[in-house]
C-alpha cells in the first residue's frame, strides 16, 4: 500500500501548462459569446492565467498562440509574466486562419504557400528564443474534403520536407512537437490524422521531435491510454493537450466527460515514467470555455488533473503485479478500481493548506472578487477571441 505522504514528492512536481486562448472568448461555428471581464490583451490573458497558478500552485507556465498573442516585445512579455509569478511556455503556430492556407500550409501544392507557412514557423522559433520557450507545437489543419482534391502521397512528402526545414532551425534546447487530429476542418482526409503518422514524421526528423497527444483528437471509442503507452515506449511522447469530449473535439473541462478515461490515461503516463523528474512529457491544457467562466473552468481542469494523478499514484502497483502474475483477472481489475474510487479530496485539501494554498481554490477564487474586478475594469477595447 502506498500512503499519501509517499506520493507528496510526485504531487509537488506536477506542473500543468495553461493555454492563453482559454481566457479569451471562444465558441462554436455557430456563435462566439462575449463575456464580461474577458481579456483584451495578451497581458490580461497572462494575468488571468496567473490567478490559476496563484490559487493552485499547479500552473506555472502559459502557452501562447501566434499570431493571436503576437506582441512587439516578447522579452518584456516574459518579464510581465514573471512579475505575475508565471513563465511563458509552448509556442503554438497557426496556419489555419489565413486565406492563403485554404488548401493547406506545410503540405500545400504551391511552393510559395509552403514558404509562407515555413517562415511563420521560423518566426515562432525566433519568438521562442525571446520567451525562453522549449517547445514549438505544430497542429496543421491541412487535409482535403474530396477524393482526388489532392495527391495524398505528394502531400506527405511535402510535409516531411517542410518539417525538416523547420526542424533544422531549432535552437539549443528547443523541441518540435507535432499534434495529430483525426478530422476537422478537413473531412475526407487529414495530413496528420493519427499518432502513427505523427510518429513517422517526428521519427524521420530526429531526437528533438516528439508527438503531442490531444485527448479530443481521436475517433470515439479509441483506447487512448494504449497510444500513450506505445508513444512512451518509443520515447516519442512529448506533450498532451488535455481536455474532455463527448462527441468530437469538444475542448471541455478535463475529466468532465469521462473521469475514468482520464485516470486510465494518467495511469499509463505514470507507468511509463511520464511524470518522473526529467521526463520529456509536458502536460498542457487545450480548452475553450464557451458557457462557463474561464478562470474557474481552468481551475477545475488543473484540479481534476491533480486529483486524478493522486489516485493514480496511490495505485497499489505491487498488488496489481501480483494479481497479473497469478492470472487473477478480477483481483487485478479490483486493484485498479480501488485506486480510481479512492477519495483523495480531503488529503489534497490538507496538502494545499500545507503549501500555503487555499483548501478549495474554486471557492477562494469566487470569494476573491477578481471576477467582479475584471468585469468592472475591462470595459472598452476589443475582447480577445478564438481567432483574434
Ligand atoms: C486543433 O483542434 C487544436 O487542438 C490545436 O492544438 C490548436 O492549436 C488548438 O486546437 C486551437 O484551439
Ligand atoms: Mn490541441
> pLDDT for 332-364, tens place per residue?
999 999 999 999 999 999 999 999 999 999 999
> Residue 316, SS3?
coil
Domains and CATH numbers, the chain: 10-312 (3.20.20.150)
Give the per-residue pLDDT at 367: 98
Task: Provide mean pLDDT across the span 283-312.
Answer: 97
Pocket of ligand 1 (CB under 6 A): 21, 92, 139, 179, 181, 214, 241, 249, 286
- Residue whose Cα lies nearest atom 3 of ligand 1: it is 139
CA of residue 298 to ligand 1 center, whole Å: 16
CA of residue 36 to ligand 2 center, whole Å: 26
On the question of pLDDT at 210 being above 80, the answer is yes
Report the distance separating Cα 180 and Cα 167, nearest Å.
17
- Residue whose Cα lies nearest atom 11 of ligand 1: it is 286
Atom number, ligand 1, closest to the C-alpha of residue 19: 12
CA of residue 19 to ligand 2 center, whole Å: 10
Give the per-residue pLDDT at 318: 97
- Residue whose Cα lies nearest atom 6 of ligand 1: it is 139
Instruction: Among 45, 239, 241, say which to mutate for ligand 1: greatest number of ligand atoms within 8 Å of CB.
Output: 241
Task: Report which bound ligand comes closest to the CA of 94.
Answer: 1
Residues 20-79 have pLDDT tens digits of: 999 999 988 899 999 999 999 999 999 999 999 999 999 999 999 999 999 999 999 999
Give the per-residue pLDDT at 137: 99
Give the per-residue pLDDT at 310: 98
Task: Provide mean pLDDT across the span 225-249.
Answer: 98
Give the per-residue pLDDT at 386: 75
What confidence tier does 388 reach under pLDDT thresholds 50, 70, 90? low
Q: What share of the chain is helix, strand, coil (3-state, %, to 5)?
A: 45, 15, 40
Residues 301-322 have pLDDT tens digits of: 999 999 999 999 999 999 999 9
- Residue whose Cα lies nearest atom 7 of ligand 1: it is 139
On the question of pLDDT at 385 being above 90, the answer is no
Report the distance separating Cα 289 and Cα 294, nearest Å.
6
Atom number, ligand 1, closest to the C-alpha of residue 212: 6
Hey, what's the cell of 336? 485498479
CA of residue 333 to ligand 1 center, whole Å: 35
Report the distance separating Cα 170 and Cα 254, nearest Å.
31
First-to-last C-alpha distance (Å) of the chain: 50
What confidence tier does 90 reach under pLDDT thresholds 50, 70, 90? very high
Give the per-residue pLDDT at 387: 61
The phi, psi pair for 254, rounded to 5°, reads -60, 135
pLDDT, the chain, mean: 97
269-287 as b/e, with b when 16 or more CB fall inside 10 Å? bbbbebbeeeebbbbbbbb
Q: Which of 140-144, 230-234, 306-310, 380-384 has the lowest mean pLDDT?
A: 380-384
- Residue whose Cα lies nearest atom 12 of ligand 1: it is 286
Query: Could you tell me if 377 and 38 are in contact, meaning their C-beta atoms sit under 8 angstroms apart?
Result: no
Give the per-residue pLDDT at 333: 98
CA of residue 361 to ligand 1 center, whole Å: 27
CA of residue 50 to ligand 2 center, whole Å: 21
Amino acid at each position: 500500500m502506498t500512503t499519501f505522504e509517499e506520493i507528496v514528492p510526485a504531487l509537488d512536481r506536477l506542473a500543468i501548462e495553461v493555454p492563453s486562448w482559454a481566457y479569451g472568448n471562444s465558441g462554436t461555428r455557430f456563435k462566439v459569446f462575449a463575456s464580461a471581464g474577458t481579456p483584451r490583451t495578451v497581458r490580461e490573458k497572462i494575468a488571468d492565467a496567473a490567478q490559476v497558478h496563484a490559487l493552485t500552485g499547479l500552473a506555472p507556465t502559459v502557452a501562447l498562440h501566434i499570431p493571436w498573442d503576437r506582441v512587439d516585445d516578447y522579452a518584456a512579455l516574459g518579464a510581465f509574466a514573471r512579475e505575475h509569478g508565471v513563465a511563458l511556455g509552448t509556442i503554438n503556430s497557426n496556419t489555419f486562419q489565413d486565406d492563403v492556407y485554404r488548401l493547406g500550409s506545410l503540405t500545400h501544392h504551391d511552393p510559395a504557400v509552403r514558404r509562407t507557412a515555413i517562415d511563420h514557423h521560423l518566426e515562432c522559433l525566433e519568438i521562442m528564443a525571446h520567451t525562453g520557450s522549449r517547445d514549438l507545437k505544430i497542429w496543421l489543419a491541412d487535409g482535403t474534403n474530396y477524393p482526388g482534391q489532392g495527391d495524398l502521397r505528394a502531400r506527405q512528402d511535402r510535409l516531411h520536407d517542410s518539417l525538416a526545414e523547420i526542424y533544422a532551425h531549432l535552437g539549443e534546447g528547443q523541441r518540435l512537437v507535432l499534434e495529430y487530429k483525426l478530422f476537422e476542418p478537413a473531412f475526407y482526409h487529414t495530413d496528420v490524422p493519427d499518432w502513427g503518422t505523427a510518429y513517422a514524421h517526428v521519427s524521420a526528423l530526429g531526437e528533438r521531435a516528439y508527438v503531442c497527444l490531444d485527448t479530443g483528437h481521436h475517433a470515439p471509442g479509441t483506447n487512448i491510454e494504449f497510444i500513450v503507452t506505445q508513444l512512451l515506449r518509443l520515447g516519442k511522447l512529448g506533450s498532451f493537450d488535455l481536455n474532455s469530449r463527448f462527441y468530437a473535439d469538444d475542448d471541455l473541462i478535463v475529466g468532465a466527460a469521462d473521469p475514468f478515461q482520464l485516470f486510465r490515461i494518467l495511469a499509463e503516463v505514470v507507468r511509463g515514467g511520464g511524470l518522473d523528474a526529467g521526463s520529456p512529457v509536458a502536460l498542457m491544457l487545450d480548452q475553450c470555455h464557451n458557457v462557463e467562466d474561464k478562470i474557474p473552468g481552468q481551475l477545475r481542469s488543473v484540479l481534476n488533473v491533480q486529483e486524478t494523478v493522486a489516485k493514480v499514484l496511490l495505485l497499489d502497483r505491487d498488488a496489481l503485479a501480483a494479481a497479473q502474475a497469478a492470472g487473477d483477472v478480477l483481483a487485478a481489475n479490483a486493484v485498479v478500481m480501488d485506486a480510481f474510487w479512492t477519495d483523495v479530496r480531503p488529503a489534497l485539501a490538507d496538502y494545499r493548506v500545507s503549501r500555503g494554498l487555499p483548501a478549495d481554490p474554486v471557492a477562494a477564487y469566487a470569494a476573491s472578487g477578481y471576477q467582479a474586478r475584471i468585469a468592472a475594469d475591462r470595459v472598452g477595447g476589443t475582447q480577445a477571441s478564438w481567432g483574434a
